[in-house]
Amino acid sequence: MNPHRPDPTDPEADVSAAPLTDAESAEVEAALRALALAEPPASLDARVAEALRAAPALALTDAPPADDEAPTLSFADHPRRSGWMTWLTVAAVLALLAALGLSVLLPRHTTPDGPSLVDQRPGPTETPDRLADTPDAGPSVTHVGHRFTEQPVELRWSRDLDQGLLTSAEGQPVRAIRRQDVEQRVWVDTQRGITVQITRPTERLVVVKQPTF
Amino acid sequence: MNGWLEDIYRTDRRALYALALSVTRRPALAEDAVHEAVVRLAGKGAPPAGDARAYVFRSVRNAALDQLRAGRRGVAGKTLPPTDGVNGSAAPLFADPGPCPAEQTEQAEQTHRLRRAVQALPEAQREAVVMKVFGGLTFQQIAEASDAPLSTIASRYQRGLSRLKTQLESQHEPTPT
């Protein structure tokens, strides 16, 4: 296709306009090139220069990309969102483990005269004599022979998500509630003046027995 | 980090501003559009995978359309006038050549007519002419910048040139008295 010829299938085509020859097109183009474009204002040059100077800082801001431009960073690549992705992944794994535990424990705890609230909590934590490279311990700290005292767990953030009604194997309806917390746990070794602080998200699945009619 | 963007701006700053002016027809909005596009692109850091010049022109065009839409909505619900020009005329795309010697009056008049004819082109045709003639972009690059098929861009450009030639020829003919 000759790109200088109008496309007859183009809906914008103006049938009244006579096509130009190459010579005529070149003549008009030459006349146009003789025109001088307006000079951008000096204030624009200054603003652009400032924007280019500030570019490294801008790259770290949370400005949303324009609708029309393909983002160069994926959702998970964003520095702030990657943290949330990690949290969500951890929460999903915990939810899966809780669901598996529920499927095993639910028939034992949902007898007709049983408790109306079944709380699947992890067992009581022991005061650690040794903090090692375990997921709960967090930082790689090992102190043999020194006793850390655990401070009361501080709840920093919490929310409950209604997961709807379930039916146990015995046919008992229960309401599942997913409780998400962010806890802060602190161990203090007063002798050595060492404080270990861990902030971690936790998730529990709570089932509440529902009345039957 | 943004040397590619700085190079393109330095080379094409007039064409980019003219493109923004061609869309918005207001100098203030055109300036904001070019600035906004540069900020967006600079924030991304790395150059795009494809044609960088087409990408920059596309960004300026889209930013200009955003500015135009925001301008039409107006500030605090007050709609802006359609143009900043005097008596409703569009902001000029071209530099004012200034006063000419007497022997160049006819040429200056023709130049003045051509400038007015370009200003009077439909927006899509004017954009194609600005990017092709003054930006030096290929039809393929203009198609990428305008998000339109290549054949449509070629048609717009050809129709723009045809309309300009018709305008010039009609103005060359002596006015009947």
B100 reaches A (C-beta below 8 A): no
Mean pLDDT, to the nearest integer, of A158-178?
Answer: 84
B72 plus B46 within the same structural domain: yes
Q: Which of B57, B88, B119 is the last residue of a domain?
A: B88
For residue A77, give how far its alpha carbon lies from the nearest alpha carbon of chain B (Å). Answer: 13
Which residues neighbour B29 within 8 Å (Cβ) at sequence distance 6 or greater?
B20, B64, B67, B68, B71
C-alpha to C-alpha distance for B11 and B52, rounded to whole angstroms:
13
B75 plus B18 within the same structural domain: yes
- pLDDT, residue B64, reads 92
Q: Which of B88, B113, B136 is the last residue of a domain?
A: B88
Report field, pTM of the whole predicted structure over 0.90: no
Q: Between A83 and B27, name the one with better pLDDT.
A: B27
B61 plus B14 within the same structural domain: yes
- pLDDT, residue A171, reads 81
Helix (H, G, I), strand (E, B) or coil at B35: helix
Pairing of strands A194-209, A117-119: antiparallel
Q: How many domains does chain B have?
A: 2
A77 reaches B (C-beta below 8 A): no
Report CA dihedral (A83, A86, A90, A93) to the nearest 10 degrees. 150
Closest partner residue to B43 among A10, A33, A63, by Cβ?
Answer: A63
B62 plus B145 within the same structural domain: no
For residue A54, give how far its alpha carbon lies from the nearest alpha carbon of chain B (Å). Answer: 8
Q: If we measure between CA atoms, which residue out of B156, B134, B3, B98 comes closest to residue A40?
A: B134
Chain B residue numbers touching A63 (CB-CB < 8 A) = 40, 43
What average pLDDT is seen over chain A?
69
- pLDDT, residue A206, reads 85
Residue B97 inside a domain? The answer is no
B121 plus B76 within the same structural domain: no
B113 reaches A (C-beta below 8 A): no
Neighbours of B44 (CB within 10 A): 22
B2 plus B69 within the same structural domain: yes
Q: Between A147 and A132, name the one with better pLDDT.
A: A147
B114:A68 CB<8 A: no
The boundaries of the domain holding residue B16 are 1-88
Give whichever of A162-171, A188-197, B144-153 has the largest mean pLDDT: B144-153
Chain A residue numbers touching B147 (CB-CB < 8 A) = 68
- pLDDT, residue B97, reads 64
Does the model's ipTM exceed the 0.85 cut? no
Q: Between A191 and B171, name the one with better pLDDT.
A: A191
A10:B163 CB<8 A: no
B81 plus B11 within the same structural domain: yes
- pLDDT, residue B84, reads 42
Residue A200 pLDDT grade (very low, low, confident, very high; cuts 50, 70, 90): confident
Point out the residues of chain B with pLDDT beneath 70: 1, 72-91, 97-104, 171-177
- pLDDT, residue B48, reads 83
Residue A91 pLDDT grade (very low, low, confident, very high; cuts 50, 70, 90): confident
What does DSSP assign to residue B133? I
B58 plus B117 within the same structural domain: no
Q: What share of chain B is helix, strand, coil (3-state, %, to 5)?
A: 70, 0, 25
B83 plus B106 within the same structural domain: no
Q: Write the DSSP assignment of A39-63 as a string of letters.
A: PPPHHHHHHHHHHHHTHHHHHTS-P
B62 plus B40 within the same structural domain: yes
Which residues neighbour A58 within 8 Å (Cβ) at sequence distance 6 or greater?
A51, B39, B42, B43
- The domain segmentation of chain A, as residue ranges, is 80-209
Check pLDDT > 60 for residue A62: no
CATH number at residue B84: 1.10.1740
Check pLDDT > 60 for residue A8: no
Chain B residue numbers touching A31 (CB-CB < 8 A) = 110, 114, 168
Q: Which of B88, B122, B154 is the last residue of a domain?
A: B88
B8 plus B81 within the same structural domain: yes
Residue A170 pLDDT grade (very low, low, confident, very high; cuts 50, 70, 90): confident
DSSP run (H or E) holding A173: strand A173-189
Check pLDDT > 80 for residue A118: no
Q: Between A159 and B76, name the one with better pLDDT.
A: A159
Chain B residue numbers touching A3 (CB-CB < 8 A) = 139, 150-151, 154
Polymer length in residues for chain B: 177
What are A12's two structure tokens? 């914008």
B61 plus B110 within the same structural domain: no
Low-confidence winner among A15-19, A174-178, B110-114 (lowest mean pLDDT): A15-19
Identify the residue among B109, B161, B164 best suited for mutation to test binding to A, counting A beta carbons within 10 A and taking the highest: B161
To 10 degrees, what angle do helices B27-44 and B3-24 make? 150
CATH number at residue B146: 1.10.10.10
- pLDDT, residue B18, reads 92
